[in-house]
Amino acid sequence: MTPAGGDAAFLLALGQRVRLLRARRGMTRRILAAQSGVSERYISAVEAGTGNGSILLLRALATALNVGILALLDPEADAATPAIARTPGYRGRVALIGLRGAGKSTLGPLLAVRLGVPFLELDREIETGAGLGLAEIMELHGQSGFRRMERGVLDRLIDGHPRAVIAAGGGIVAEAGTFARLLETCLTVWIKADPQDHMQRVIDQGDLRPMRDNRRSMDDLRAILASREALYARADIQIETTGRDVASALAALEAAVTGRSPGCPHRTAIQRPDPAAPPHQ
């Protein structure tokens, strides 16, 4: 039975919110089904605007997505982007954000060498701390458990490293509190690339899963990027890697971070902030 009037509009908006939140976190319907205990068929119906389940099922979806239930019901619930209060010396840490395949793991270590600081990859630090791979962490603890670990490890890295280059996981921007912490304490750089480049680089890294269903994978990748674009855009700096070789991208990244023009002698320390600079918005 098709809902009438406002009910139909409400269910359609709810479905759009579930789909947006799922894409932003890089979760397929199958993964969301496994972590929420809600069937793929029901999730598909919800996203199509035809689901009419109980509030308990909605709560299960919200829990698996690691959001409050209001985030499913109210589009304004996570739309606010308050001003960020930058911490003293935040420029001492450079945080690279962006989708997998953008170039964070390639450019990050090279930039760290140029700046004379340690390179820290957040996902690898999480794995080391848990003694498990990311897939195992997700399977055992779900999205919410992983995000709690992510926040704890990020806090530890920030407290222990006043100067560093940190490569963050692609989905960190979907967790408002954790992303705010990153923005407050680090000079953030969005490493960008076209979806085709993201896909090819992931395949070149040895992950052949995207090749099994390339059309579906590209659709999912585009949806994830679209859902996160406004969040990634909150970064202090944006570096485009499509059409650039590693040397060119690294030169642009170093110049943006240090304030020097490409080709100038390398710095051994990250540029210190201007005390008169306005707070990040």
Contact indicator for 172, 97 with CB cutoff of 8 Å: yes
Signed CA dihedral, 70, 74, 78, 83: sign only:
negative
User: Strand 237-240 relative to strand 187-192: parallel, antiparallel, unpaired?
Assistant: parallel
Same domain, 106 and 220: yes
Give the CA distances from residue 212 to residues 109, 195, 203, 233, in Å, rounded to whole numbers and listed in that order.
31, 17, 11, 31
- Tally helices (H) and strands (E) across the chain: 13, 5
| Residue % of the chain over a pLDDT of 90 | 49
Q: Say whether both 40 and 163 belong to one domain.
A: no
For residue 256, how many other CB atoms are within 10 A of its CB? 17
CB atoms within 10 A of CB 228: 24
Asked if 233 contacts 136 with a C-beta cutoff of 8 angstroms, the reply is no
The SS3 call for residue 188 is strand
Predicted confidence (pLDDT) at residue 197 exceeds the cutoff of 80: yes
First to last CA, the chain: 47
Does 239 lie in the same domain as 144?
A: yes
The stretch 195-202 carries a mean pLDDT of 81
Q: Are residues 43 and 102 in the same domain?
A: no
Query: Is residue 224's pLDDT more than 50?
Result: yes
Residue 103 belongs to domain spanning: 90-258
Question: Is the per-residue pLDDT at 93 higher than 50?
Answer: yes
The mean per-residue pLDDT over the stretch 127-132 comes to 94
Cβ contacts of 84 within 8 Å, gap of 6 or more: 180, 183, 184, 279, 280, 281
Give the pLDDT band of residue 59 (cuts 50, 70, 90): confident
What CATH number does the domain containing 59 carry?
1.10.260.40
Looking at the 3D structure of the chain, how many domains does it have?
2
> Mean pLDDT across the chain, nearest whole number?
84
Euclidean distance between CA atoms 199 and 202, whole angstroms = 5
- Given 44, 73, 102, the domain boundary residue is 73
- Does residue 215 share a domain with residue 94? yes
Of the listed ranges 25-34, 79-88, 180-189, 194-203, the least confidently predicted one is 79-88
Looking at the structure, tell me whether residues 176 and 253 fall in a common domain: yes
Instruction: Tell me, yes or no, whether 140 and 203 share the same domain.
Output: yes
CA atoms within 13 A on the CB side of 4: 0
